[in-house]
Amino acid sequence: MPAEQRAKSEATREPPGPEAGPRRAGRRRQWVFRCAAVLVGLTPFVGIECLCVLFDWGRPSLHDDPFVGFRSVRPLFVLNEQGTRYEIPKARQGYFRPESFAAQKLADEYRIFCLGGSTVQGEPFETGTSFPTWLEIALEAADPARRYEVVNCGGTSYATYRLVPILQEVLDYEPDLIILCEGHNEFLEERAFDHIQGRGRVVNGLLAGAARLRTFNLAREVYLRGRDASSADAPSGRPILPTEVEALLDYQGGLAEYHRDDAWRQGVIAHYCFNLARMVDLARDAGVDLILVNPACNIADCPPFKSEHRGDLTDAERDEWESLCEAAREHLHGESYDLDKAIELFDTACRLDPLYAGGFYNLAKSHEAAGHFNEARDAYLEAKEQDVCPLRVLKPMNDAVLDIAATTGTPLVDAQQLFEQRSAHGIVGGEWLVDHVHPGFAGHQLLGDALAEKLIELGKVQPRAGWEEVRAERYREHFDSFDSYYFLRGTSRLARLRAWTEGRVRRLRGETPDAAGPADAIPPSSPSAR
């Protein structure tokens, strides 16, 4: 309003009455009283919680998994005949590589256990070129006055829920540090989540929060004892998994068993987040340092493993989708080459069916060819997220690693970011990863370096001057120590691994495997694979 009208309005406004101030003060006093009443009401519970902590009553159970159970759990390490070293027994070397450490920890030893899947193990090669080995070499170069022992606990096809018992075990071996890198194997085994999802997200969230309170756990234990039960009893309704991994892709027809199932996918992601947080808590409860590694994956040189159209796509829409893609391919590879037109057609197809992963991969390749790198990266990532057979970590899982690291103050090495920063236009491809998730030699060295630098940053390692040059020389010496058969074996395993991801295996259900799933895959050069 004009200044003259504002002045007139203010002049005619009645001043606040004498009772306005006391009214406001009274309202403030009411809120203060209510807050104080709530605090007074909570005081007994806070006192009981402190008492429980003091006497170690009602300790939260971090050991039980409400999502799944196992027929049996075997130790990863056993004492050798001399009783001098813990070793991975041959019975478990179908999934783990030979590894050992001294039963009696030396006074100057800094002991690290690296937990994860085949990425940690060093597949498709062996532990000799895995990032735990490069980390050990880097630490010895940085601080020769100390003994560093980095133990590789990477298990082929092992997901977080199978790593929890291993973490519980290695926490008894006097570790100074746990390194956890996992996220690609969560969708390999068939399991159900009806018993969890039936309770609803809100109820599950409230139960998860309450389960961290000792008062709640103590009250629950008293209640269960009154019913002749115990909190140590296995949760009812959860699926019981075999002792070792039985991945769907380990058997003929495994790829065909993957279908779009949003409820199952959300259950897998929730289970991953639960176990990730639980392992952080387990290490913290034991007073052991832990570093989280955010997993990286190949988006540029790895097409989706399986694509499915959206369920409500009509026959007419499917015909239209196929016509659009065929026309786009003609503009890419035919006589009527027109890259912009191909992008337009692929984009239309993706909008028609935004759930078909292969459509986004085609769109990404076209954008990349045209130099539209931001659009290409977005389309590559969408192709990964829509993959019906998710053998690469999904974005919500990457986000969970970052969120848990931030909220718990857990140190983090972001492998995804490391590789993106060193990839053209931030699009990670075959220059760092030999397949969909496994780093090459340079990628493992990069991860080992990043972890060593993180330990230096945290003040756990005091490096000597010029240690980087010593590290580079030690890397060269170590790499040159491998004979040609080492690389031939790795190349052969890579071929079988790629066939495994494509669902081309010989094994039938019921057969007892001698080794991990990918070892039984039909290599691409085999006539049976065609």
Of all helices (H) and strands (E), which one includes residue 114? Answer: strand 109-116
- Residue 51's pLDDT is 75
- Residue 16's pLDDT is 55
Residue labelled with tokens 């920890």: 105
CA distances from residue 12 to 2, 6, 9, 15, 18 in whole angstroms, order as listed: 16, 10, 5, 9, 18
Q: 213 with 299: CB under 8 angstroms? A: no
CA distances from residue 295 to 56, 97, 178, 307 in whole angstroms, order as listed: 36, 21, 16, 23
- Residue 58's pLDDT is 56
Distance CA 177, CA 167 (A): 11
Q: 454 with 138: CB under 8 angstroms? A: no
| Residue type at 295 in one-letter notation | P
Distance of CA 63 to the CA centre of its chain: 19
Among 339, 330, 336, 392, residue whose Cα is nearest residue 366: 339
Could you report the per-residue pLDDT of 46-93, keeping only the tens digit for each?
A: 777 677 666 666 555 444 678 888 888 999 999 999 999 999 999 999
Could you give the domains of the chain?
Answer: 63-192+239-303+397-530 (3.40.50.1110), 315-385 (1.25.40.10)
Strands 100-102 and 289-294: unpaired
| Residue type at 225 in one-letter notation | R
**Residue pLDDT tens, the chain, 530 long:** 455 555 445 555 555 555 555 666 667 777 767 766 666 666 776 777 677 666 666 555 444 678 888 888 999 999 999 999 999 999 999 999 999 999 999 999 999 999 999 999 999 999 999 999 999 999 999 999 999 999 999 999 999 999 999 999 999 999 999 999 999 999 999 988 764 444 445 544 444 555 556 675 566 566 556 656 554 555 556 788 899 999 999 999 999 999 999 999 999 999 999 999 999 999 999 999 999 999 999 999 999 999 999 999 999 999 999 999 999 999 998 888 999 999 999 999 999 999 999 999 999 999 999 999 999 999 999 999 999 999 999 999 999 999 999 999 999 999 999 999 999 999 999 999 999 999 999 999 999 999 999 999 999 999 999 999 999 999 999 999 999 999 999 999 999 999 999 999 988 887 665 544 454 555 544 333 32
Q: What is the DSSP letter of 256?
A: G
Distance CA 318, CA 312 (A): 10
Residue labelled with tokens 């016509």: 323
The pTM assigned to this predicted structure is 0.82
**What is the DSSP annotation of 19-50?**
THHHHHHHHHHHHHHHHHHHHHHHHHHHHHHH
3-state helix, strand and coil shares in percent for the chain, rounded to the nearest 5? 50, 10, 40
Strands 109-116 and 147-154: parallel
> H helices then E strands: how many in the chain?
18, 10
26: tokens are 């009274």
- Residue 217's pLDDT is 59
Among 151, 152, 166, residue whose Cα is nearest residue 122: 152
Q: 278 with 164: CB under 8 angstroms? A: yes
Q: 151 with 99: CB under 8 angstroms? A: yes
Distance CA 524, CA 506 (A): 13
Write out the E strands in 198-355: 240-241, 289-294
- Residue 221's pLDDT is 60
Distance CA 55, CA 191 (A): 39
Distance CA 405, CA 167 (A): 18
